[in-house]
Amino acid sequence: MTTNSKIAISFIRYLDENGRPVSSLPDFAKKYDELLELYRLMTLVRKFDAKVVSMQRTGQMGTFASSLGQEAVSVGIGRALKQTDLFFPYYRDQGVLVQRNVKLLEVMQFWGGDERGSHFIGNKEDFPIAIPIATQLVHAVGAAYAVKLRKQNRAVLSTCGDGGTSEGDFYTALNGAGTWNLPLVFVINNNQWAISVSRKIQTKAKTLAQKGIAAGIDCLQVDGNDVIAVKEVVGEALDKARDGGGPTLIEALSYRLCDHTTADDAGRYVDKEDLDKAWQTEPVKRLKSYLLSKGRLSPEQEQELEKSNQAEVNQAVEEYLSLTPQPPESIFDYQYENLPEALLEQKEELELFLQPDNRN
């Protein structure tokens, strides 16, 4: 017997759970300004998420997906992408979006059911947030194919959750990316839960990264609670993609410290001990511990940061609450350039209904 293939999945981490370096840090992480910016972004996203959840609880927001505990995944990705790259988000990517000229206000509009939130006024190239599971990965393949055809020097990145890796679209996307050697990076935010389905019973595969092997594409795991590792690994994969080196599948290991969305109650199925343990390894605390150990984060800086984050979130909330709601008939305005006959009829019916005389 001969062995034709062996599985080896690397796992990359720079800071351990207590914020202590386990190896020499990459060059960018030797600049404290950069680390403080990563810290600022993670704490901003955490504050934003908490506020939007509380708004949902008080009837001021639609269903919302917090990224509590996974801030390093999205912030690291956002910091690694160049503005000229293309991004295809899933629904827990606010930490990327805020770095791509997408306003917090627009993210709120999206979750508030206002389609104008998907316009991304300052960003005309990235795709809007995808709610259907893993569909965005296939869209990213199409875009990456176009980038390659046009010989553009840019990479495409798309994200999904651990549950997304069980979808047909996930495998289709991987196969296309590999077959055409596309300038594409997939990042799985493995937060250990697909709503209430634990990662343990999601698949028999030992890692989610290894799903890339069948597609012939490079794949690895990164500590998704270590923002330095996420930025470094994603950055390298993006460089390789732009240089014609083909696609990469990255599995970022994190833990969802919140409900799946505000429509869920994780208290019904998450083991409290697991959750308590996960709080010990969360990403904000980890980077903070490192910065404190280097004397690079003073109580005054922390207070300043807290204040500026709060002001930024407050500003978005204020703008959101003062928006003029869209008229009901606007629900027909965003899916089609030209409305199909059946929807045209429904729109006319709604307009008729909305006339003052017909509403009693």
- Using an 8 Å Cβ cutoff, are 164 and 157 in contact? no
H-only helix segments in the chain: 32-57, 71-80, 94-97, 104-111, 135-149, 168-179, 199-202, 227-242, 272-279, 283-293, 299-321, 341-354
Task: State which of positions 313-332 bind Mg ion (CB under 5 A).
Answer: none
Residue nearest to Mg ion (CB): 161
Cα–Cα distance list, 69 to 133, 190, 191, 327 (Å): 21, 11, 8, 37
Q: State the nearest-atom distance from the C-beta of 336 to Mg ion, in Å.
A: 32
Residue 315 CB contacts under 8 Å (≥ 6 apart), including other chains: none
Cα–Cα distance list, 180 to 93, 106, 153, 213 (Å): 27, 34, 16, 15
Q: State the nearest-atom distance from the C-beta of 138 to Mg ion, in Å.
A: 19
Structure tokens at 65: 């997906």
- Using an 8 Å Cβ cutoff, are 267 and 193 in contact? no
Q: State the nearest-atom distance from the C-beta of 256 to Mg ion, in Å.
A: 6
- Using an 8 Å Cβ cutoff, are 181 and 147 in contact? no
Structure tokens at 304: 């300043």
Please list, residue by residue across 216-240, b when 16 or more beta carbons sit within 10 angstroms of its beta carbon and e when fewer do: ebbbbbbbbbbbbbbbbbbbbbbeb
Cα–Cα distance list, 144 to 85, 97, 233, 310 (Å): 10, 19, 20, 37
- Using an 8 Å Cβ cutoff, are 107 and 120 in contact? no
Q: Is there binding between residue 162 and Mg ion (CB under 5 A)?
A: yes
**Identity of the residue, 95 or 161, whose beta carbon is nearer to Mg ion in the bound complex:** 161
- The mark string for 107-146 relative to Mg ion (x by CB under 5 A, - otherwise) is ----------------------------------------
Q: State the nearest-atom distance from the C-beta of 28 to Mg ion, in Å.
A: 28
Query: What's the one-letter identity of residue 123?
Result: N
**Identity of the residue, 80 or 194, whose beta carbon is nearer to Mg ion in the bound complex:** 194
**Identity of the residue, 196 or 303, whose beta carbon is nearer to Mg ion in the bound complex:** 196
Per the residue annotation, which of 20, 269, 334, 336 is the catalytic one?
269
Q: State the nearest-atom distance from the C-beta of 11 to Mg ion, in Å.
A: 19
Per the residue annotation, which of 92, 154, 260, 286 is the catalytic one?
260
Q: State the nearest-atom distance from the C-beta of 39 to Mg ion, in Å.
A: 24
**Identity of the residue, 78 or 161, whose beta carbon is nearer to Mg ion in the bound complex:** 161
**Identity of the residue, 59 or 267, whose beta carbon is nearer to Mg ion in the bound complex:** 267
Please choose, from the candidates 107, 140, 104, the residue with its C-alpha nearest in 3D space to the C-alpha of residue 125: 140
**Identity of the residue, 161 or 176, whose beta carbon is nearer to Mg ion in the bound complex:** 161
Q: Is there binding between residue 106 and Mg ion (CB under 5 A)?
A: no
What's the CA gap between 330 and 153, in Å, rounded?
Answer: 38
**Is 269 part of the annotated catalytic residue set?**
yes
Q: State the nearest-atom distance from the C-beta of 202 to Mg ion, in Å.
A: 9
**Is 256 part of the annotated catalytic residue set?**
yes
Q: Of 84-92, 158-166, 285-293, 325-333, which part binds Mg ion (CB under 5 A)?
A: 158-166
Q: Of 4-12, 59-67, 159-167, 311-319, which part binds Mg ion (CB under 5 A)?
A: 159-167
Q: Of 11-19, 105-113, 126-134, 193-201, which part binds Mg ion (CB under 5 A)?
A: 193-201
Residue 2 CB contacts under 8 Å (≥ 6 apart), including other chains: none
**Identity of the residue, 56 or 159, whose beta carbon is nearer to Mg ion in the bound complex:** 159
Q: What SS3 state is found at 164? A: helix
Q: Is there binding between residue 161 and Mg ion (CB under 5 A)?
A: yes
Structure tokens at 165: 């890796």
Q: Is there binding between residue 67 and Mg ion (CB under 5 A)?
A: no
Per the residue annotation, which of 256, 286, 290, 320 is the catalytic one?
256
Site size toward Mg ion, by CB under 5 A: 5
Which of residues 67, 99, 159, 191 is near Mg ion by CB under 5 A? 191
Q: Of 130-138, 153-161, 233-241, 326-334, which part binds Mg ion (CB under 5 A)?
A: 153-161
Enumerate binding residues for Mg ion (CB under 5 A). Answer: 161-162, 191, 193-194
Q: Which residues are catalytic?
A: 256, 260, 269
